Structure 1
Amino acid sequence: MAMVLNIDFHDLLGAKERPGSQYVGHPDGYYPQKSLEVLIRRAAQSGFKRLFFRIAVCGRTACRSKVKEMADHRPEWPATLKRYDPFAVAVKTAHETGMECYAWITPFDDAGPKLGRSKPGSSQSRFSFEHPEFQLQDRDGDDPLYGVYCFGHPEVRAYFLNHIRELLAYGPDGIFFSNRSHSNMTRRQKERGFNPPVIARYIERFGSDPRIP
């Protein structure tokens, strides 16, 4: 049996300065690299064997990225990311201590308008904001469930595969896929998934339109 440590770096950034704590934000407004290294090393010394490092901050990332926008909806994020890459530090430190390190991503949590639009100070990805047609659709096609994609669209698959390839370049031991979502899956209790690729495939297989009850 192996003990697993989950690190949600966004929550670490939200910690307040407390006397004697090793793991809180710097008073100048960023999270020190040394604090992250100390946290991981102490976990390894305590017997943890695996580290799941959360990359996703809803639709943004907790690492430097060319595929997705980096988190910037609280001032600690840009202040930290310009100093170092948290995921690179996590992978390196975990491996130095003998721990496995996995990138923790949430494909069904690219965020929606209620969490802010894709602009500085937002947690929504630009891809989600610019492509409502790729979000899970209701029967009428006029109420997209933002942050939750239909993977029947090749553009959606390419978007996530490019992000995964980027993460694998860090040298982690694997990718941890979480189905956690901040999107309201039961909003108005509508059935979802009526996107064109799904409709076309359904008609091809069964000869009827699933949008018609």
Structure 2
Amino acid sequence: MAFSDNVWWTRKARIQLEKRLLSYFFHSQLLLFWYSLVGVVASIYYVKFQPNSEVAGISWIIYSVMLLCVSIFIGSFSFKSRADKVKECYEALNTLIHKQANTDDEKNQITQDYELILNSCENHKFVDHALAMIETYLTTTDKTKVNPHPTKFHWYVFFKAKLSRFLVVSCLYIAPIALFVALEKLA
């Protein structure tokens, strides 16, 4: 694979990394809001309809403390600022793609610039590379121009990532309601 192809695929994988980080940021903020809302609604429910419930006391206090801890923990991941650094990285890679090297010194300088750009932010995961390959393949009219072609393993990683993401996100959104229903059944 040519150096320019390597830079191009790295850029595409970093774009997928940025998308993933921004998605984590969005869902983490929405989930914190959702869990807080469920906690408030559950508190109002128990005060209004079951003021003497044993479940209302300790269970929802534990829930509130856990929500506080989770919100601090999620904040420590800095998804938004990490995504901003990744965006700067792939924009710099885009600039690097268009540089022409005629001499060995110029080629060496571009290689050094490439390494500096790569070290400016976190590395992408293989799943980001697989998603970039599949997305490029699916959005390109002439499939013969996509080089290299996605392998069966790339397709496996793609579908596994999409399915596991759907399942995890669904479970996270359903969890507080499931907890409320479970506690009601126990009471």
| TM score, norm. by length of structure 2 | 0.28
Normalized per residue, which structure has more strand?
1
1 or 2 for the larger relative contact order (CA 8 Å, sep ≥6)?
A: 2
Q: Which has the larger radius of gyration?
A: 2
